[in-house]
Every structure is written in structure tokens, then in C-alpha cells.
Amino acid sequence: MYELRLALRYLLPKKRAISTSIISIISFIVISLVVWLCLVFLSVTSGLEENWLSKLTQLNAPLRITPTSKYYSSYYYLIDTISQNSDYETKTIAEKLSAPQSNPYQSNIDADIPYFWPQKETLSNGSAKDLVKDMYSSLQDLQKQEPSLYFQDYEMSGAFLRLSLSRDQGEHLPLKTSFLSQMSYLLSFQGSNPHLKELMLQPTVDDINHLLIQPEIPITQDAYYPTFKNEGINRSVLDHIDILEVKSNSKFSMSGQILPEGVEFSVKKSPFSSTCTILNKKNNKDDCLKKVGDTVYINKEPFNFHELTFVFEKPVTMKVIAFQNKPTLHLEVETEIQGRKSTGSLPFLGLTIEKAKPKVFFDIAPKSPPFWAYYVKDIGWKLPEKGVLLPKSYKDSGILIGDPGYLAYNSTTASSSQEQRISFKVAGFYDPGVMPTGNRFIFAPQEIVRTINASSSFLTTDSATNGIMLWTTPIKKALDIKPLISSQLKKRELDSYWKVESYEDYEFSKDLIEQFKSDKLLFTLIALIILVVACSNIISMLLLLINDKKQEIAILLSMGATRKSISLIFGLCGFITGLMSSFAGILAAIFTLKNLDVISSFLSSLLGHQAFNASFFGDHLPNHLSYDALFFIAVITPIIALIAGLVPAIKASRLKPSSILRSQ
């Protein structure tokens, strides 16, 4: 195909056509830069949209089923209020699901059914409906078709939160106690949520060190660790962590176990006690220590190994090789003292954990559960007894795992309203994302939420306090599953009792989702306009090229080349320019996205503050290439370039060879 060969030859820069070559290179660079900028921008904005959508739906689920007003006025719901088997109380969805019978009413024991109540719900064939169990059955049938679908009932309430913070102020100073109070929403813990791992924050070293010095331990643990009160360490915490590094603190002392033999160290021997301070650096001015067997020589004066107590001048970090928790607590450590490698065994006294790896995932349920939220294979996420999850903002305020507190709520009786309290301990933190009320939501065990919900009237909208959350992977698949659920409910004649909502229908996120869609469309249109402007350079380039190649065009036409071939040659010039520019811009965009954190850090250092607020953009900017954006750029750029090349190409095909050759 000679047209393609000629198009490629015309695009190669030549010294004889310097002006055309410069315009050609500039066009290539401009289009490449625009492709690079558009692809990076669209990928980042697409990633931000996915992150925000993920955080919106991870906490609230992309799908939600709630009872309608017809459910709350149904015979099925009201019958519990006059039934002895139901303790004359309405039941939640979970209680209805686990109830042995759909209709607890006994005519020979219970009061007469009021005449104005609705009739008992039945199917068109006359069989009784179980509004909850039938609905769960439809979800289980759907789950067989969609294995990525998970669901769990939820309960929501509200209470007054009060946390107690006891912190160590240093040696010889009493503990400082402060309190944090806030009115909060309570949401039952979502152990079946497959995305909970992405919300959860791992226990930190500060959390672990705080748990180790907790003054209280469960009675069941005391039997396993009878020496706890003497050591002052909650050793049950150590069952679920791998200690990697420890650091000496002001209370640390040793009898020289980790000092290597035959090596001289610079120390300061106290003249009033048996304490030797090991200096940070070796020098010739201070005392010289050398260990030989059970004897320690200080300035050649012998001392019994066990008569001296050694401390460090400055805190020393030690790598933990192994540690033994039972029956006595010892660490095998490795460190450097004055540039010399030292190893040995130390008791866990006067040491602070510097680096550790908490165990969060278990194949089988542990006999002694950790003090934080943990995951058990084939079961899901679990909380320790009376443990709650708090939003990340509490962690930023200094709250640590293990801090105690209570939830206060009012319980209304016939004659008065009394304050009730439920104690708890902080079991972890989660990232609430961009949800407006996210910093007030607390994950609590379902029994706590149910107790408060049954005893108080904090929330007046019944449908808001109880329902079913459904999760899908990927999140946007929820939009396809929603009509399937509605169809299943309609088939079972349950659609009037249950309302199915997707994340696009939630009141708190509806406006945000619509704004995401509008912004995405707007950014795409802007990218399209910029690409059109950039590709307009091709017109100038080809006009210069045609003017430079007029004689060749005339010769080709004289030799029998068709005008269509001439148009194709210069049309291919525009298309190839757009294609090569797209390829170069895409490679540059991939490189930029992979190094986006470096660029962000550089911008932050120039500005003197964080360039991108973590509240909006997250801890890291999204650096994944958007395949939708890639497809859009890779397809539209060559097409625009081809269209831009058609105008000069048509002009080239209309040249008259006789006039051109005569003028030459």
C-alpha cells in the first residue's frame, strides 16, 4: 500500500523542510501533552469517585431493604404485642427470623384480637405469609445466582457516649484521667460485610502498649496468667501479637545479660549505688567495663555479675528474635551497644513495644479472643465481648483500644424516665469516609443496640431503626441486582411490605452521586474540547506539508494516482500523528500515575503544607489507570486527528497537476 509508505515518509523530519518538520514535532508534542494531561486527570477523578462511592457504601451497603408502613401496620408485626410467647413486645427482623413460629398468638391464653386490626396476611392460594422468612428465602435464592451477594440485618439506635481516658504522665506522677462525651448513633456490627476490612484500622503500637498496662483483665484470663498482677502486664494481649522490636524506657534495667564477653564498653559507675550507665558512644574519658564469665571488671576492678544493675544512657531499640509468654515472660533480643552486636534474654520489664504485628485473621475461632475486632474464616468479623468500633476521628483525639466507657440512654417507665448505662471497651476504629454523620456512628454488638432501641424512643421513624443491608462486588453491580430483588419480592407478593433502595436512592448520598455523574460528564466534555483544539495543529502541519509537496502531488496525479489516493495519503498523515501522539501520551500518563505520590510530596514541599487534603482525597491520590478513560482517549484522539487531516487532504486532492508543473 504505497499511500501508507508515502504518509510515513512525509512525517519523518527532514533538514530540507525545516519549517514543516518543526510544526510536525510541535503538533506531536502538543497532542501528547494533552493526551497525558487528560488521561491522568480523568483517571484520578475516576479513582476519587470510586473511593468516595466505596466509602459511602461500605458503611451503609450499596443495597438496603427496609420495612414499609404497611409492614408496621400488618397483622404479622402487631400480633406480637398481644402474645404471651412474644412477651407482649414487637420483634425485630432478626427476632422474627429466629422465631420458631410465624404466628405466636394463642387464642386460649392471649387477649382477643382488636376488630380494627388488618386480616392475617395470606398468599393468593390461601397459605399464610411469613413476611421476614419469605423475604430471606428470596434473598437466599438470589444468592445462589449471585455468589458475590452478602446480606445481614441491621439495627440502629442512639445513646450518649462517655469515654474515660487514663494516661501515664511519666515516672512518679499519677495517672491523668480525662473524659470525652458525645451524642452518638449506634449501628449493629456488620460481621458479614465483605468490605469491612477496607474500613477497619489496624491496631497500632500505641494501642498494644496501652492494652499491656490495662489495670483490669477478665476473670477467665486470670486463671491462665496468675502472675499478671505481680508483673503489671496484661500478658493475654501477647497471645495475639508478634513482637518485632522493643525499646527501653526510663524504668528499664538489667543485670548485663546481653553484654558480650571480652568486649570493652564505656560506662559511668555511680559512686553511691550499684548502677552502671552504659553510654551511647564509646570514649576514653569514662569508666571502662569488661565482662568475663560471671565477673564484670570496671577499670580492672572486679565486681560480681549479679551485684550490678545496668541502664542505658538513652533509649535503645532492640530487635526481638523470639519471646516466651509461659510460664515466665522473656524476650530473646538483638541490638547494638556502642557499635557492637549484642544478643541475649531479657524479662519484659521497662520495655515498650516499638514494632509489632497484631493477629487479626484466624482460621478457627481463638479460645481467648483478642481485645480488638478480628476475622474468623467462614464466619466473618467478630467483636470481643462488650467491644465497640469508633470512627477514626476518635483515634485522632487520642482514644486508644482498651479505653473504657459507657452508653447512657433513657428508659421510660409508667411513672418516670430513668437513665440506664451499658459499659463497653473500645475494640477498634474504622474510617467512616465522606458520610455526613459518619463521625457519630458507632458499631456496637447487636444485643446492645437492641436493648437501647427497645427501651428508648430516640428514633421515631421505625424504618430507620431496622432493615437489611446487602453488599455486592463490585459495588456498581448493586444497580443490576436491585431489580432482581424487587422481582423476587413481587413474585412472592411481598413487594408492598419491603422497600428496596440502592446507593443512588439514599437521601444522604443522592445529591453526591448525581454530582459525581455531572462532574464526570463535564470533565469528559472538557477533555474532548481540549483534544479538538490540540488536534487542530494537524491542519496547520498538513497545509505546510501539502505546500511543500505540491510538485510530488502533481507528479503522482500525472502518473495515474487517483484523487482518492492523494486524500488518503494526507488523511493517514493526520491519523498516524494522532495515533503516535496518543501512544506517547498514554505511556507518559502511566509513568505519572505510578509516581503520583512522589509528585504529590514534591508539590506539598513547595507549598509548605499538604497539597491534597486527606479528608477529600484520602491518604493517597488514586494512581490506577482508568480503563474507561484509556478507551476514550485511545479511540477519540486518532479519530479527531483523522477528521482534522481530512480538510487539508481534500485540498491536496483538488490540486491541478498541469498548473503546478507549468509553474515549476
The Cα 475–Cα 486 span in angstroms is 18
The Cα 649–Cα 6 span in angstroms is 13
Cis peptide before 114 (omega within 30 of 0): no
Residue 374 binned pLDDT confidence (cut-offs 50, 70, 90): very high
Taking residues 82-95, what's their average pLDDT? 89
The Cα 19–Cα 541 span in angstroms is 9
The predicted structure's pLDDT at residue 228:
37
The predicted structure's pLDDT at residue 408:
92
Strands (E), 41-149: 63-67
Query: Do the strands 287-292 and 264-269 form a parallel or antiparallel pair, or are they unpaired?
Result: antiparallel
The Cα 228–Cα 250 span in angstroms is 21
The predicted structure's pLDDT at residue 229:
38
The predicted structure's pLDDT at residue 287:
81
Query: Please, what is the average pLDDT of the chain?
Result: 82
List pLDDT tens digits, range 412-469: 766 677 888 999 999 999 888 666 566 788 999 999 998 888 876 444 445 568 899 9
Q: Between these two residues, 325 and 277, which has the higher pLDDT value?
A: 277
List pLDDT tens digits, range 292-340: 877 888 888 888 777 788 888 888 899 998 887 666 678 888 888 888 8
Query: Could you tell me the CA-to-CA distances from 75 to 40, 184, 509, 594, 617 in Å, in that order?
Result: 58, 33, 34, 60, 49
pLDDT over 80 at 630, yes or no: yes
The Cα 394–Cα 607 span in angstroms is 29
Say which residue the cell 541502664 belongs to: 311
List pLDDT tens digits, range 91-150: 889 999 998 888 888 888 888 888 888 888 887 777 788 999 999 999 999 998 888 888
DSSP states along 163-205: EEEEE--STTSPPEEEEEEEEEEEEE--TT-TTHHHHEEPP-H
List pLDDT tens digits, range 386-399: 899 999 889 988 89
The predicted structure's pLDDT at residue 297:
83
Helices (H) and strands (E) in the chain, counts: 22, 24
- C-alpha grid cell, residue 386: 462488650
Cα 449–chain centre separation: 25
Q: Which residues contact 41 (CB under 8 A, 6 or more apart)?
A: 523, 527
- Domain ranges across the chain: 2-57+513-663, 63-149+472-502, 151-201+360-463, 221-358
Tell me the HSE value of 338 on the side-chain side, using a 13 A CA sphere: 20
